[in-house]
Structure 1
Amino acid sequence: MALKATILPVTPFQQNCTLLWCDETMAGALVDAGGDVDRLLQAVEKTGVRLEKLLVTHGHLDHAGGVAEIQERLGLPVEGPHADDAFLIEGMADQALRFGFPEGRSFVPDRWLVQGDKVSLGALTLEVLHCPGHTPGHVVFFEPTARVAQVGDVLFRGSIGRTDFPRGDHATLLASIHDRLLPLGDDVTIIPGHGPLSTLGEERRTNPYLEHGA
């Protein structure tokens, strides 16, 4: 069995919604279904993946704006983020108004996640890392066999997440990266919330926002 993934950019912010699935069972999950719901579901149908759940790294509109609609249409459970992002999810309509998006809808996750939780995906198990800073309830999903981490807006190629949003904190974000992400290992591929893939080793060595060699 192996983890498979395809990236489906959504919204004007070109957010990397990711379809993850187990190739043995074809059970899958959309991570951060931020919008463009019809296009996402058509893409899933073409792969033959059976959607099992929706996973959410954090409560910003471009990452979670389509969750309520898919949850309603398909009856799928939602897992994540950490409950500290509840205020963002509850304020989804306000976020949509502020950024000029179509109507945003809030939702209630079936399972709030905390550090050390496990998320099943077919025959696979994803590890949950609570990585606050960009938002207080941001989580990362790590699959240890494939060595892949879905990092949302914590870390990007050559950059890190913004911390000027409500309850963001720069020092907390850097601590999350150094204490919880980098120890996973240099070989881990990261799928960020925006932009191209990278590895933790590449970011540890070259990212100007991190202390090189830390």
Structure 2
Amino acid sequence: MRIVGFPAGMFQTNCYIVSDDAGDCVVVDPGQDAEAQVRKEISEAGLRPRAVLLTHGHLDHIWNAQKVADHYGVPAYIHPDDRAMLADPAKGLSLDLSAMLKGVEFVEPAQVIEVFDGDTLRLGSMSFDVDHVPGHSPGSVSFRITVPTEEGPRTVLLGGDVLFQDGVGRTDLPAGDTEVLMQSISKKFLVLDDDAVVLPGHGPSTTIGRERRANPFLRDL
């Protein structure tokens, strides 16, 4: 399994391409201006896209979702509580941020599949376990995969904007809830082994162990 990530757009949102040895791949969170880089990475590696996975519906994570999904003719997966933001991102934005969308139209991808807590998505030879982790947004999810390494299997979380290196997701946008977010982190993230890797929606990767020890927002957990 191979994972390539890059920050995209004005929000520097991390977009990830996860692929298996057979060349099947999924694209996670293609945000603003991500499409060109996604197409370049897929073309150069000779990959076959199977899906677009969306950790949540906020604008910076779904901006190019429709373009990428429809270009490759693949479905976009999103939790139903955030689905409305695919066609109307302003539902998840503050008033000042909504103003930047004036004149910009969004539509759902041609194929949308809703995901729920406990689902397992099998795409190519890859398996993604879905964990519903609300708080940052009502429909936030993480996609959990197991990656073989020389030291043995290792858990990797495509975690969206739930847990960052030395931080947690913001909860000041519509429907954000700090208490719910901390419950999500406690129940879905901190139950994992210390060597579990978190690939967040912004910033560098981290591990559960590092954040358990050093993240100031987790002290009460």
Of residues 202, 209, 212, the one that matches 2:217 is 209
Letter in 1 for 2:43: E
Unaligned segments of structure 2, at least 5 residues: 148-153
Q: How does 1:172-183 map to 2 (within 5 A)?
A: 172-183=180-191
Report the equivalent of 1:90: 87
Give the 5 Å matches for 1:29-44.
29-36=26-33, 37-44=35-42
CA contact (8 A) 1:113 1:128 kept: yes
Residue number among 3, 11, 14 corresponding to 1:13 in the alignment: 11
TM-score by length of 2: 0.88
Q: Which 5+ residue runs of structure 1 have no aligned equivalent?
A: none
Aligned to 1:107: 108
Task: Give 4+ residue runs of structure 1 displaced > 6 Å after superposition.
Answer: none
CA distance in 2, matches of 1:161, 1:147: 21
**2:140 alignment partner in structure 1:** 138
Q: Relative to structure 1, is the Cα distance of residues 101 and 49 closer, same or farther in structure 2, using a 3 angstrom cutoff? A: farther
- Give secondary structure in 1 for the equivalent of 2:181: helix
Q: Check conservation: 1:34, 1:61, Cα contact below 8 A.
A: yes
The residue type equivalent to 2:41 in the other structure is: A
TM-score normalised over the length of structure 1: 0.90
Residue in structure 2 matched with residue 117 of structure 1 by the alignment: 119
Query: Out of 193, 196, 206, which is 1:198 matched to?
Result: 206
Percent identity over the alignment? 34
Matched positions, count: 209
Equivalent residue letter for 1:76: V
Are the structure 2 counterparts of residues 139 and 206 from structure 1 closer, same or farther at C-alpha, using a change threshold of 3 Å? same
Residues 56 and 78, structure 1, Cα contact 8 Å, conserved in 2:
yes
Q: CA RMSD in A?
A: 1.9
Could you say which residue in structure 1 is the equivalent of 2:158? 150
What is the 5 A alignment of 1:53-64? 53-64=51-62
Question: CA–CA distance in 1 between the matches of 2:62 and 2:192?
Answer: 26
Which residue number corresponds to residue 22 of structure 1?
20
